Structure 1
Amino acid sequence: MTAWINGQAVVRDEAVAAAAALLAGARSPVFAGLCAETAAVQAAFDLARVIGASLDPVAGSSLYADLGALASGGAMTTTPAEARGRADLVLALGAAPWASDIVTELAAEGPVRGRAAGRSRTLLALGGGGDGAVQHIAYPAGEAGLAAAIGLLRGLVAGRIAGPHPLADLAARLREALYGVVLYDPAEIGALGAEMLNGLVKDLNETTRCFALPLGDPYQGRAVAQVAAWSTGQGPRVGYGRGHPEHDPWRFDAERQAAAGEVDAALWLASLPAPLPTWIRTVPTVALLGEPKGDEARVVIGVGVPGEALGAALWHPRRAAIAWQEPRQEPRQEPQQDPQREPGSPLPGISPAAAILAELQARLAASPAPHPERASC
């Protein structure tokens, strides 16, 4: 275990005590990052409730591009497994799908279930495309951008735009498919693109079957959204300043709060790799990191990396669900195996982030709060 205070190496207990003191003295703390195993994210929500903090995951921008459209009009989505088994047509929006493995998997075989079973699978691309390794038909998005192209495509599919158009062939292919799937990255198409896409999918389902399939972000955002839902009944950008969870995507945007001077302390949780925001340097911060250097924040505590040093529940992209992942391998320097240690439990000297957060909560609950009320922002 490694820990630092102001860049100086210290024992873990000293760093935990300093972290507890920093958070206890804050009137408006924020917990950010949340790129971690599900147990750690849950522990962060529990601690935030105790001390009146707000929360904002590093995947917030990507999540809310989807969540905003979902809240306003709903969505018809599918899973990677259903797409592989049933889709006879796949439309990839933008460049992001081509950087994932799913396009290659879909190109390798055709549908084997449902009405489209036995048919060949057609791959289409709007505003992006691969390097030629996967055969597909590409359509340009145009100068107005991807979101505008999705809106135009929706108009063509619904018959609201008449006459010849560069995307008319794409619209016809979507209408003729037995089971279409639209792959997209919410961060790439944005909130407007997601709203247009959900409308396009609904229009297609008037006459055939079509579903949206969002790509998961690399920062456990989909798992954070589920933890937030079962913990608060709301999205992940919530604040506990008034003693109960209040949801506001704008108000509890950590970057905006830091820029406006609305937070006076932060906890950055990233047991998995995540980009450290620049605002961390301007706010007294406790950082729980899986791969720390020691100078990332005022107090830095190293934690076990889930899926490598310890077993953990993580977002599984292929299953589109939270699933257990065993540690990849035992470290070579580990002494003789302890026969009483359960498989997947942390190795000696390695603490999960959830354990550190639970210890912080115990210390803060045991000491009197210096401020009777937390700030509401």
Structure 2
Amino acid sequence: MNHAWIDGRPGSEPEAVAAAAALIGGSRLPVVTGLATDIAGIRAALGLARIAGAVIDHQASAAIYPAVTAIRDSGMMIGAPAEIRRRADRVLIVGDAFATSPDLPDFLFRHEPDLGKATRGKREIRWLGGPESSADIPGAIEPVVCPADGIADALAMIRAAAAGHRFGEGPIAGEQAEAVAAWMKEAGFGCAIFAVAGMDELAIEMLAGLVFDLNAETRFTSLPLFGPGQAFGAALAATWTTGFPLRVGFGRGFADHDPDLHEAGQLIASGEADLAIHVSGLAGAASPEPEWSGRLPVIAIGGGAASWANPPKIRFDAAMAGRDHDGVLHNERFGSFVPFAATQTGTLPRAADLLAAIAAALGDVTTGAAA
């Protein structure tokens, strides 16, 4: 069964790999994006970007970048979900935290805390700026009504109250801010939970600062939820590989981090990038045609590209991580990387193997050109 195409025509895998390497070798500025794949695929994509002098950026990085920026610039205390499940006696949920993680509340809150100081009583939950209904969340919840665009200001009020500082009027009553601050300070082990896609950089930095402040008197942590697609896993892999989170360019011969200059969508829209390598090899994740498809040649690796309105220049079908092969994925419930086993067998190559083969062929192309 064929799994490689060049200009819409079936070809062998070696032919498509050689064609992809030649296309990348002749590119002025390629971008590697998509990156919905396992950790092996992400590492292979980073390796290809380094050899190609490309920019690399996850397709969902815009949604998580406020949190990445806050973590990079100011730091953040982040807890493991399992520890929060068993220790947290005071939980502040912020905004529509579980919009992309609907199964997580059952794991976190169905079990009463039973470790450390939390054993003194049952868990108490307050929800700042949450949806109107919280019927699907286990446990009693006290709402703190706040408009979505007022969450950063509300957090600033609570942080000021916790520090004993004066503050003015805001989206919540001053008495509410003081009550929430006092309640958080009384935690044996507390946690603030939020979805990064629903908050801007200022709100996230304010929440991270509040958690830091609370640790002067008690134990408190946070649980940012990054959603599906492996965007945060890719950012972590890029950090330990290059020293920077994603939006990294290798055009100057070394890893160069710039969150504005190396945004893949902007590079494609401006015409600065002239080739895209798009990786989409994650089981269960939607793989729509990128909005920039048709603006430049594309090398597509993974599922979904066969139905694009603008067919890729070169296309490889690949095994899906989480279904067709063993590997490692970032798992939100675990809070880190976990191994997974294949649930079915197949004959397609992994995205990581295809990317490595293209990188090897590109190395041969560049070596030959230099000679």
Q: 1:11: Cα distance to partner?
A: 3.8
Amino acid in structure 2 at the alignment position of 1:40: G
Other-structure match for 1:314: 329
**Aligned partners of 2:179, 2:8: CA distance in 1, in Å?**
60
**Aligned partners of 1:306, 1:43: CA distance in 2, in Å?**
14
Unaligned runs of 5+ in 1: 331-346, 373-377
Other-structure match for 2:170: none
Checking the alignment, whether the CA contact within 8 Å between 1:182 and 1:212 is kept in structure 2 is: yes
Match among 257, 260, 275 for residue 265 of structure 1: 275
Q: 1:291: Cα distance to partner?
A: 4.1
Checking the alignment, whether the CA contact within 8 Å between 1:25 and 1:370 is kept in structure 2 is: no
> Which range is displaced more, 141-150 or 216-225?
141-150
Checking the alignment, whether the CA contact within 8 Å between 1:89 and 1:121 is kept in structure 2 is: yes
**Aligned partners of 2:157, 2:298: CA distance in 1, in Å?**
46
**Number of equivalenced pairs:** 355
Deviation per CA, 1:38-89, whole angstroms, max 9, x where unpaired? 1111111111111101100123123321221122222112110110111001
1:278 lines up with 2:298 in the alignment: no
**Aligned partners of 2:7, 2:253: CA distance in 1, in Å?**
32
Identity of aligned residues (%): 34
**Aligned partners of 2:263, 2:73: CA distance in 1, in Å?**
20
Other-structure match for 2:102: 100
Match among 336, 339, 357 for residue 324 of structure 1: 339
- Superposition pairs of residues 281-292 of structure 1, within 5 angstroms: 281-292=294-305
Match among 123, 140, 147 for residue 142 of structure 1: 147
**Aligned partners of 1:122, 1:371: CA distance in 2, in Å?**
66
Other-structure match for 2:42: 41
> Which range is displaced more, 242-251 or 56-65?
56-65
**Aligned partners of 2:97, 2:69: CA distance in 1, in Å?**
20
Other-structure match for 1:115: 117
Checking the alignment, whether the CA contact within 8 Å between 1:9 and 1:294 is kept in structure 2 is: no
Checking the alignment, whether the CA contact within 8 Å between 2:82 and 2:108 is kept in structure 1 is: no
Checking the alignment, whether the CA contact within 8 Å between 2:21 and 2:365 is kept in structure 1 is: no
* TM-score normalised by structure 1 residue count: 0.87
Checking the alignment, whether the CA contact within 8 Å between 2:38 and 2:329 is kept in structure 1 is: yes
Deviation per CA, 1:122-172, whole angstroms, max 9, x where unpaired? 122111144423331111123743223222222222222368444333222
**Aligned partners of 2:369, 2:251: CA distance in 1, in Å?**
12
Other-structure match for 2:316: 301
Checking the alignment, whether the CA contact within 8 Å between 1:31 and 1:44 is kept in structure 2 is: yes
CA-based RMSD = 2.2
Unaligned runs of 5+ in 2: 168-172
Q: 1:115: Cα distance to partner?
A: 1.2
Other-structure match for 1:168: 178
**Aligned partners of 1:160, 1:371: CA distance in 2, in Å?**
65
1:132 lines up with 2:130 in the alignment: no
Q: Indicate the SS of the match to 1:279.
A: coil
Q: 1:308: Cα distance to partner?
A: 0.5
Other-structure match for 2:164: 159
**Aligned partners of 1:370, 1:25: CA distance in 2, in Å?**
13
Other-structure match for 1:12: 13
Other-structure match for 1:70: 71
Cα gap change, 1:250/1:284 in structure 2, threshold over 3 Å: closer, same or farther?
same
Other-structure match for 2:365: 367
Q: 1:312: Cα distance to partner?
A: 1.1
1:59 lines up with 2:60 in the alignment: yes
Other-structure match for 1:341: none
**Aligned partners of 2:85, 2:121: CA distance in 1, in Å?**
13
Amino acid in structure 1 at the alignment position of 2:334: R
* TM-score normalised by structure 2 residue count: 0.89
Other-structure match for 1:350: 348
Checking the alignment, whether the CA contact within 8 Å between 2:32 and 2:57 is kept in structure 1 is: yes
Amino acid in structure 2 at the alignment position of 1:153: I
Checking the alignment, whether the CA contact within 8 Å between 2:278 and 2:300 is kept in structure 1 is: yes
Q: Indicate the SS of the match to 1:4.
A: strand
Checking the alignment, whether the CA contact within 8 Å between 1:25 and 1:371 is kept in structure 2 is: no
Kindly report structure 1 stretches of 4+ aligned residues shifted beyond 4 Å.
369-372
Q: 1:222: Cα distance to partner?
A: 2.3
